[in-house]
Chains A and B, each alone.
Chain A
Amino acid sequence: MTTADAIAAAFRAHWAQIVAAMVRRVGDLALAEDATQDAFTAAAARWPREGIPPNPAAWLMLAAGRKAIDRLRRERGRRERDVAYARDAPVSVAAAELEDDTVTDDRLRLIFLCGHPALASEARIALTLRCVAGLSTPEIARAFLVPEATMAQRLVRAKRRIAATRIPFELPTAPNLPERLEGVLTVLYLIFNEGYAATSGDDPLRADLCDEAIRLARLLHELVPDHAEATGLLALMLLHHARAAARTAFGRPVALDEQDRSRWDRDAIREGEELLAAAYAARRPGPYQLQAAIAALHARAPGPQATDWPAIASLYALLAGMMPSPVVELNRAVAVAMAEGPRAGLALLRALIEEGSLDAYAPLHAAHADLLRRDGDAQGAAAAYARAIALTENTAQRAELRRRQRDLKA
């Protein structure tokens, strides 16, 4: 292993752990994050010269501790008592902080801190990517298509809010735990969706968000292995991401029914299915498990026609009961159309179109167009495609819709 590889590996393995341990020691997320960054910068400078230390995590922890003291001295150097913790934190503390239970709990505390409901959703996402996943501010800015200064300010404000309102570095109390975990799962789900929606774009960094979300979901699953929905979310991500290679061809998005299924990642599908089976065993169903179950049915099918559409339609019905949403209703209509024919799907879609909340949602009109085409209404389909095209911003997706609209005439 080269030194650069060793640093990259240490970064992946230990970033969150060291930020978490530093928050515990200095009580301030901003300082903890800066000191951890300093420690990795020091490693990049010194490991090539001095060799990779036998225990990289301990080395980094110790370095981060020293860097935190340096920063405190620089900021308020005249006041010796501010750095008192430095005297109380001998080398042995760093070793103690590497013990399994503390590490596990501290990383979980960090995840709960970054995903606290008192922070705005976009702040939670940014903080989680920065402090838990270790992405740099420019990386996060690019992934979310905002200027770097905007993202930097968002992070600074979030950290300031944590300090000013004193959001604790603590595990939620038992009565609040389910709700807080759900909030954390939502953050990870939103990160994944942001990356998933972008996989058809031309920016690989955005697609990397899927990998980061999976890494975070793996970490959470490792920390709360018995939580069925945390397991279900990881399964869902793996099963969706397994199709990544087949979702685009020559820069254009490929719909599920046209994908080359031999390009699906069979290892990821197997792992997703195993996780889903483990989640089922807890007998605590939830929206992530249901969505994963739907993804698993797609993954298992050798082709679009051989898909168990009636089962998918009934899973969507269950999902709609648990988490009513017009988007779920749209997916249910498409599944019903596959199971029972376009007429049955169109009946459900018409109710959704009349209800109006998805009026500006391109996928609704694209699905409507597809069903009208299958039902033999080329004129209606052309109008619905036109509506979908007008509402689609992604150029590749727009081109694909235009192609389908042209094919109507053929």
Chain B
Amino acid sequence: MSYALLIYSNPDDSTSERAPYADWGAYTQSMKDAGVFLAGEPLQAKDTATTLRVRGGKRTVIDGPFAETKELLIGFYILDAADLDAALDWAARMPDAGLNSLEIRPVMAF
């Protein structure tokens, strides 16, 4: 089953030491080596986000992320895991797992 691991982070938290980029590379490689990696990308900072709503055929473009909350989506992985426990184990091993919040959702299968 495919699961999305959505990574949420608090950008205001500058006190905590973040994992070096090399850790992310190693983590992604370990997913690839295990044959579970399907996709995964980090996203640029929230001030690059643009929110669009189309209502009644009219486009409204707003600068900034969809929801102004403390924790923002900063990246994602899509992985192929046997079950939720396996997906949770991968998520727990992610760099900065101790700082971020990770949402695990099955990808809709058609």
Chain B CB within 8 A of A168 CB? yes
Q: Could you tell me the distance between the alpha carbons of A74 and B88 in the complex, rounded to whole angstroms?
A: 35
Query: Cβ of A172 and Cβ of B85 under 8 Å apart?
Result: yes
Contact B85 A165 (CB under 8 A): no
User: Which chain A residues lie closer than 8 Å to B39 at the CB level?
Assistant: none
Number of B residues near A (Cβ < 8 Å) is 11
Min Cβ gap B97→A in Å is: 14
The reply to whether A165 and B89 contact each other, CB–CB distance below 8 Å, is: no
Residue of B nearest to A167 (CB): B84
Across the interface, which residues of A come within 8 angstroms of B85, CB to CB? 167-168, 170, 172-173, 176
Residues of A within 8 A of B52 (CB): none
Residue from the list A165, A168, A173, A176 in contact with B106, Cβ < 8 A: A165
Which residues on the A side are within 8 Å of B104 (C-beta)?
165
Interface residues of B in 57-110 (CB under 8 A from A): 82-86, 88-89, 104-106
Interface centre among A166, A170, A172 (most CB of B within 10 A): A166
Q: Which of A166, A167, A173 contacts B89 (CB 8 A)?
A: A173
Residues of A near B106 (CB, < 8 A) are 164-166
The chain A residue with its CB closest to the CB of B86 is A168
B residues near A (Cβ < 8 Å) are 1, 82-86, 88-89, 104-106
Interface residues of A (CB under 8 A from B): 116, 118, 164-168, 170, 172-173, 176
4 closest residue pairs by CB, A with B: A168-B83, A166-B83, A165-B84, A167-B84
Q: A166-B83, A167-B85 are in contact. List 9 more A-B contacts (CB 8 A).
A: A118-B88, A165-B106, A166-B1, A168-B82, A168-B83, A168-B84, A168-B85, A173-B85, A173-B89
